[in-house]
Amino acid sequence: MRVPGLPALALALLLLSPPCPARRAERYPPTWMSLDARPLPEWFDQAKFGIFIHWGVFSVPSFGSEWFWWYWQKEKRPEYVDFMAKNYPPAFKYEDFGPLFTAKFFDANQWADIFQASGAKYIVLTSKHHEGFTLWGSEYSWNWNAVSEGPKRDVVKELEDAIRSKTDLRFGLYYSLFEWFHPLFLEDQSSSFQKQQFSMSKTLPELYELVNKYRPEVLWADGDGDAPDSYWNSTGFLAWLYNDSPVRDTVVTNDRWGLGSICKHGGYYTCSDRYNPGHLLPHKWENCMTIDKFSWGYRRDARIGDYLTIEELVKQLVETVSCGGNLLMNIGPTLDGTISPIFEERLRQMGTWLKVNGEAIYDTQTWKAQNDTVIPYVWYTSKPKENRVYAIFLKWPTSGKLILGEPKANLMATEVKLLGHGRPLHWVSWASSGIIVELPKLTFDQLPCSWGWTLALTNVT
């Protein structure tokens, strides 16, 4: 670079001054006080919608739940015991499902296409669930991983490559800290977690390996096994993740890092499965839920009524985003590595809905009201910089007029449009604050979408 006419002294000073200041002066010490204060990378709040994928050896029996092993062997629930007695030889062990997990039709590019079409902005794959089977060739999971058994492929790598090369989605991984039946975990447990054999020789090495090899931008911890975060060395690990890991600038984590840390420590809050509080929280949160109401893993015994309808899913998304959350919507692929048509349809339906209404979802902020006082099925989001408020209504009023109690209109400036329709709509003020919008008279074919609609309100307060 040459700066014409710059006096020589100034130039010399410029050259002498140190290069850019250190990328980030601040380092996070391994305490919750410091780690909890780390600002959440912005992409996460903008993304709003992700896909959760529960896949593992539990996808082989694909009966009941991904908690199959626990319910069968630990709780001995009759339906699981009967299922095994009826369908497998008496000496059959859970481990024998491993080689049957073939993933024969697994095509990561096809998954990536479906996820892209869903409108999601990130995915979170179960790299290891409580059964302990790792979907990558973990050096610490001898003979119980997808490279040496079952698929004989590095599933995590294949999906990472497809997501990163074919889509604009972020790649994230779920990881279960504990394992139901790992002998070292059980030994540590019986020492009331005074011993740390399992966390030190299995969990932490695997976490470092996973992050270094696959650079997940969401690290979704789960399964603390009722052990405190000190047992898992969670603060030490997170300090490394935020200070020194290859994803330190963009990674987000959740809040499941040890007994009592949920809804309290870590990155964003998940609080409980299917968490959807219906009101604002002072902290970024995520509603993780499943399309199959009863299971996260694939179930061959599911009935059509067990799956949430697209109307119910859109409602989840809208309520969640209006209250400041992200939606993490789960599917369970089959043991063959296919995404069943019912899941694929729901994903693609979300995508068609978001094509029209995405403007009211992505990159939005919450508004002064989350849902309307007159009609509670109207939910609000906003884009303050554009002076815009979005009112998403989940039922089309039979009168053709939508009464909104919250937005205060300005006679000269307010403009109302239906997303996907585009022309300004007639409106009148209602009561002291409020507005009545005359919806366009559209035939069924002319409706921009069918499971919820959005009014974009410009210049309302």
Ligand X SMILES: *[C@@H]1O[C@H](CO)[C@@H](O)[C@H](O)[C@H]1NC(C)=O
Q: Contact positions toward ligand X, by CB under 6 A?
A: 30, 200, 204, 233, 235-237, 278, 371, 373, 376
Q: Which CB sits closer to ligand X, 59 or 233?
A: 233
CA atoms 403, 406, 409, 414: torsion sign: negative
Give phi and psi for 436, each to the nearest 5. -115, 125
Place of tokens 């911890």: 221
| Nearest distance from C-beta of residue 303 to ligand X, angstroms | 27
Question: Smallest distance, Å, CB 113 to ligand X?
Answer: 34
The distance of Cα 171 from the centroid of its chain, to the nearest Å, equals 10
Query: With respect to ligand X, which residue has the nearer C-beta, 157 or 195?
Result: 195
Q: What are phi and psi of 148, to 5 degrees?
A: -95, -15
Phi (first) and psi of residue 184, to 5 degrees: -70, -35
**Distance (Å, whole) CA 269 – CA 175:** 16
Query: Considering the complex, what minimum distance in angstroms separates the CB of residue 363 from ligand X?
Result: 23
- Smallest distance from ligand X to CB 169, Å: 29
Say if CB 280 and CB 325 are below 8 A apart.
no
Task: Give, in order, the Cα–Cα distances in Å from 102 to each of 56, 95, 198.
Answer: 10, 14, 28
Q: Please identify, using beta-carbon distances, which residue of 254 and 370 lies nearer to ligand X.
A: 370
Residue 297's region, left for phi above 0, alpha for psi from -120 to 50, else beta, is: beta
Tracing tokens 């709040």 back to the chain, one arrives at 45
Minimum Å gap between C-beta 84 and ligand X is: 38
Q: Which is nearer to ligand X, 133 or 237 (CB)?
A: 237
Cβ-proximal residue to ligand X, closest one: 236
Identify the three-state secondary structure at position 294. Answer: coil
Closest-CA residue to 330 (of 121, 54, 57, 45): 54
CB distance 66 to 135 below 8 Å? no
Cα 53 to Cα 216: distance, rounded to the nearest angstrom: 14
Q: Indicate the residue among 200 and 263 with the shorter CB distance to ligand X.
A: 200
CB 284, min distance to ligand X, A:
20
Compute the least distance from the CB of residue 268 to ligand X, in Å: 21
Both structure tokens of 14: 């410029």
Alpha-carbon distance 74 to 88, whole Å?
Answer: 18
DSSP state of 356: H
**At its nearest, how many Å lie between ligand X and the CB of residue 320?**
11
What region, left, alpha or beta, does residue 420 occupy, with left being phi > 0 and alpha being psi -120 to 50 degrees?
left
Q: How far is the CB of 332 from ligand X (least distance, A)?
A: 28
Distance CA 331, CA 339 (A): 8
Residue among 34 and 73 whose Cβ is closer to ligand X: 34
Question: Between 237 and 298, whose beta carbon lies closer to ligand X?
Answer: 237
Q: Kindly tell me which of 118 and 138 has the beta carbon lying closer to ligand X.
A: 138
168, two tokens: 């604009």
- Pair 94, 74: CB distance under 8 Å: no
> For residue 288, how far is the Cα from the chain centroid?
6
**Shortest approach of ligand X to residue 371 CB, angstroms?**
4
Q: Pick the closer one to ligand X by CB: 278 or 400.
A: 278
SS3 for 163? helix
Residue whose CB is less far from ligand X, 53 or 404: 404
Other Cβ atoms closer than 10 A to 143: 8
Residue with tokens 């090495």: 205
If one counts every other C-beta atom within 10 angstroms of the C-beta of residue 93, the result is 10
Measured from the CB atom, is 260 or 422 closer to ligand X?
Answer: 260
Alpha-carbon gap, residue 333 to 107, rounded angstroms: 12
Least distance between ligand X and beta carbon 29 (Å): 8
Encoded amino acid at 285, one letter: W
Cβ-based nearer residue to ligand X, 55 or 393: 393
Closest contact distance (angstroms) between CB of 206 and ligand X is 11
